[in-house]
Structures are given as C-alpha cells and as structure tokens.
Amino acid sequence: MEKIMQWQKAYEQNETQKVMRHALYYNPLELCVSVQENCTRNQHHFSVNINTLKAVNQQTSGRCWIFAGCNLLREEIAKRLNLAQFELSENYLAFYDKLEKIHTFCELAIAMKDAKADDRTFVWLVKTGIQDGGQWDMFVNLVEKYGIVPKDVMSETYQSANTATMNLLINTRLRRFAQEVRNLALMKREDEIYALKETLMQELYSLLCTCFGIPPQRFSFAYADRDGDVHHEQETTPLAFYHAHITTNLRDYVSLIHAPTKDKPFHEVFEVKYLAHANGQPVRYLNVPIEELKQAVIAQLKDGKLVWFGSDCNQFNDTKGGFWDDTSFDYNSAFGINFSIDKETALDMRDSAMNHAMVLSGVDLLNDQPLKWKIENSWGVDSGHNGYFTASDSWFQRFVYQAVVHKRYLTTQQLTDLEKQPRLLEPWDPMGTLAK
C-alpha cells in the first residue's frame, strides 16, 4: 500500500496524464493520440496504381484469404469478359475449405489417438479445431481441386457471412469425435474408427449444406458486358470454368515472408506442419529481408499485377480515415511510456503476427523508393476510401509478414534458394498464424 500511495502521488502531479484522463473519459483512445500533421502523408494517391473492381465484404467471417485470392482471379475474368463488375463466390470455396479442414482434423485425431492428453501437438489440434482462416497455398489447393463459380451461382448466406456459431458447433462435434477415437483405441477396436469418421463426415457435410447451401456441380452463366451486350455460357463445371477463364498458373507464385527471428535464417525455405489441407500442397515460405520482399512486390505492381499479402491489421489502423500508419498514433507521448518493440521481438514474444490477407494494388514511389502502399481490402465499400486503404512504408516495414509474387520477379539467388530442403515449423509457430 505504501508503494501504491507513492505511485498515486506521482501520478496526481502529472498534468499530462490529467489531461489525457479527461480526454479518454468520452473519446476512443486512438482519436486522442492521432498525429494531425501526418494527415497529408496518408493521402490516397499513388504513382503506380492498378485500377481494380469494386471492393467486396467478408462481413463477420475470417475468410479474408479467400476474398483476397478471389480478388486476384476476378480481375483476369473481368478483363477477359469486358465486365464492369464481377465477383467470384467466396462461399463456394469456403464450403470446401471447411470440408477439407474437417477431414484434416479427423486424420490428425486418428494419427494422434495414442498421444497423451497434454501432448502439445494434440492440445494444439483440439484447441484450434477448425476455423475460417487460411493461407495462399490453401487457396490454390482449393481452386485447383474444386474450381470456381461466379457469386450469382452460389451466393452468400447469413451463416457463410457470420460463421462463429457454426464453427462452435463443428468444433464441439470434432472434439467429441477425437475422444471417441481415443476410446476405441483404448478398447483395441481400431477397426471401427474409420466407420466412425465416415459417419462424422456425412453429418458435417450435411451441416455445411444447410448453412452454406449446396455447392453446384454444374451451372450456366449469363452476364452483361460493359457495352450492355448479354452473353450466355452453356452448362459447365466449376473446374471447367476455372480452366476456361484463368490462364495464370497459380503454382508459379511464391510466398515470400519477412520473419527476422534467429530461428529463421534468411534465404531458407520453411513449411508449417499440419497447416495445409491433408491432401494438398504444403504451405511453403521463402524467408527474405524486407527490402528484397519490397523489390519483388514493386516489380509485380509495376507490371500491372496485383499482390496477395499478409499483415498484422490490428496495429495502428484508422478504419474511418482509411490508413495504416505507425507514425500517426503517438501513444508514447500520451502516456509517457515507451511502447516500441522491434519486429523480431514482436514475433518471438507473440505481440504480432500475420492475421489478415489483402491485396496490394499500388505504391507511391519517390526516387524509386516506396512512400506508401495502396491496399484493396475486403471490409466493404463503407470502410476506408470506398473499401481501399493506404499503408505507410514504415507500417509496411513493421507489420507486413508475407507477399505472394510470381517467380519471374524473383532474383536468381531467390530461385536457387527455393530448391532447398524446407525446414519444418511447428503449427503454433508465429508464421503458422492463419489470415482471418
């Protein structure tokens, strides 16, 4: 109590904190620490700018990685078909993502049936369950296996846009399955496990159909182009539609990451255990210095190609103003506390990690150096600049962890590095965080 009285006396003599206390009584903290003189730095103008379609909205779901991937693909389709607006069905891919994740969980639960209840990997499995989040390689796995469909063919439902309750129910059922598998193993009745799995898969497939709708096996597609002419595509399949309209080989894209931690040397390749769908390609990264990542991204943007990227969107953002900028919020002066933390420490101490995927559609360069970046988000047209955001280069440096670029924009050294044997990361590694 003596210490507390000393602290209180010191606090009451601090006039800055008195003013801040009064301001915070009625106002959000972020507004009280905004740096007014930085407003001009975040203006929404870019020397390299790719015009893209109307922003989309993932609503109350963690499907940003699917939306970001679909935003890339739809531009190629819209250009090919001369469309003013077009959107792919994120719901269609989310349906199969959930089904694949359920299958992956089952296979891992069976493989770990003899693990101790407090085994760290088993605890990670049952605690994580299935979720909405994902990664670039997972997106590619889905579209190459199941194809794509226009949004009109499988539109959003309330449950696809608001997934929390459905996820809770699925995870409860999966955890019961995991325990039932362990019980069968204890009773030496392993031969019954896969029949149990088959029952579960049928149950949860039905649940997904009820919540998301039945995914189409075949469909027809009618559309009006920019000139008002109506076109009809005859009955096709999702895979045939994908191959007919997407000429880009998605396997030629590489995930560059910037993880400046001692356990992840630069120019090494990493994979994360259990992160991908069970039968798909693994999630793979090449770790590079941030300047190399920026150079590849800028080269792709200059070539008129969008960039799927992952960042920590929770840090220093102004949704109303439409920007991310770590220099526009002065928390240090407001509280008299040094809140600074370097990127390596932030990763190692779990203060920051990639948690949101978006699309880079421009960059503002001065003497060929980036000042700020243009972002196509998936939070709807009512956020930011009609759904688009600005990110300062200093924020990019600190909070961007991943960018997906075509191999043609990599250096000779980076292409050589890709041939290295991947190092395996545990599923709870910071770079195993899924974009939501």
3-state secondary structure 371-418: EEEEEECCECCCCCECCEEEEEHHHHHHHEEEEEEEHHHCCHHHHHHC
Indicate the pLDDT class of residue 85, thresholds 50, 70 and 90.
Answer: very high
What pLDDT is recorded for position 137? 97
3-state secondary structure 7-38: HHHHHHCCHHHHHHHHHHCCCCHHHHCECHHH
Catalytic residue among 245, 277, 377, 406: 377
278 pLDDT higher than 90: no
What pLDDT is recorded for position 352? 97
Residue positions counted in the chain? 436
What pLDDT is recorded for position 87? 98
Asked if 427 contacts 273 with a C-beta cutoff of 8 angstroms, the reply is: yes
What pLDDT is recorded for position 198? 98
Asked if 103 contacts 216 with a C-beta cutoff of 8 angstroms, the reply is: no
pLDDT, mean of residues 339-344: 97
DSSP 432: G
Give the tokens for residue 335: 């509280």
Note the pLDDT tens digit of each residue in 384-403: 999 999 999 999 999 999 99
What pLDDT is recorded for position 36? 82
Asked if 357 contacts 39 with a C-beta cutoff of 8 angstroms, the reply is: no
- Percent of the chain predicted with pLDDT > 70: 100
239 pLDDT higher than 90: yes
Give the tokens for residue 288: 């590079």
Indicate the pLDDT class of residue 38, thresholds 50, 70 and 90.
Answer: confident
Asked if 258 contacts 400 with a C-beta cutoff of 8 angstroms, the reply is: yes
Alpha-carbon dihedral angle through residues 422, 294, 68, 255, given to the nearest 10 degrees: -10
pLDDT, mean of residues 61-75: 97
Indicate the pLDDT class of residue 29, thresholds 50, 70 and 90.
Answer: very high
Note the pLDDT tens digit of each residue in 97-146: 999 999 999 999 999 999 999 999 999 999 999 999 999 999 999 999 99
Give bridge partners of residue 36 from the DSSP assignment.
Answer: none
Asked if 338 contacts 84 with a C-beta cutoff of 8 angstroms, the reply is: no
Catalytic residue among 44, 258, 356, 406: 356
One-letter amino acid for residue 21 of the chain:
R
Give bridge partners of residue 376 from the DSSP assignment.
Answer: 359, 388
Does residue 377 have an active-site annotation? Answer: yes
Q: 3-state class of 335 per DSSP? A: helix
* Chain centroid, CA 193 distance in Å: 34
pLDDT, mean of residues 352-358: 97
Measured distance CA(227)–CA(286) in Å, rounded:
44
Asked if 42 contacts 364 with a C-beta cutoff of 8 angstroms, the reply is: no
Give the tokens for residue 385: 């600049």
Measured distance CA(100)–CA(96) in Å, rounded:
6
- Percent of the chain predicted with pLDDT > 90: 96
What pLDDT is recorded for position 370? 98
269 pLDDT higher than 80: yes
Note the pLDDT tens digit of each residue in 361-384: 999 999 999 999 999 999 999 999
What pLDDT is recorded for position 103? 97
191 pLDDT higher than 90: yes
Asked if 402 contacts 65 with a C-beta cutoff of 8 angstroms, the reply is: no
Question: Checking DSSP bridges between strand 388-392 and strand 323-324, what pairing results, if any?
Answer: parallel
Question: Checking DSSP bridges between strand 400-406 and strand 253-257, what pairing results, if any?
Answer: antiparallel
37 pLDDT higher than 90: no
Mean pLDDT across the chain: 96
pLDDT, mean of residues 160-172: 98
Catalytic residue among 44, 57, 64, 317: 64
pLDDT, mean of residues 5-10: 96
List of E strands, 169-226: 219-224
Sign of the C-alpha dihedral computed for residues 261, 263, 269 and 272 taken in this order? negative
pLDDT, mean of residues 309-321: 93
Give backbone dihedrals phi and psi of 363, rounded to 5 degrees, phi first: -155, 145
Measured distance CA(391)–CA(350) in Å, rounded:
22
What pLDDT is recorded for position 40? 76
Asked if 128 contacts 430 with a C-beta cutoff of 8 angstroms, the reply is: no
Note the pLDDT tens digit of each residue in 50-62: 999 999 999 999 9
Indicate the pLDDT class of residue 197, thresholds 50, 70 and 90.
Answer: very high
Measured distance CA(21)–CA(100) in Å, rounded:
50
The model's pTM is 0.96
Does residue 22 have an active-site annotation? Answer: no
Question: Checking DSSP bridges between strand 219-224 and strand 423-425, what pairing results, if any?
Answer: unpaired
**Quick one: which of 206, 214, 254, 228 has its CA closest to 82?**
228
State the DSSP string of 60-73. Answer: BSS-HHHHHHHHHH
Count CB atoms within 10 A of the CB of residue 67.
Answer: 27
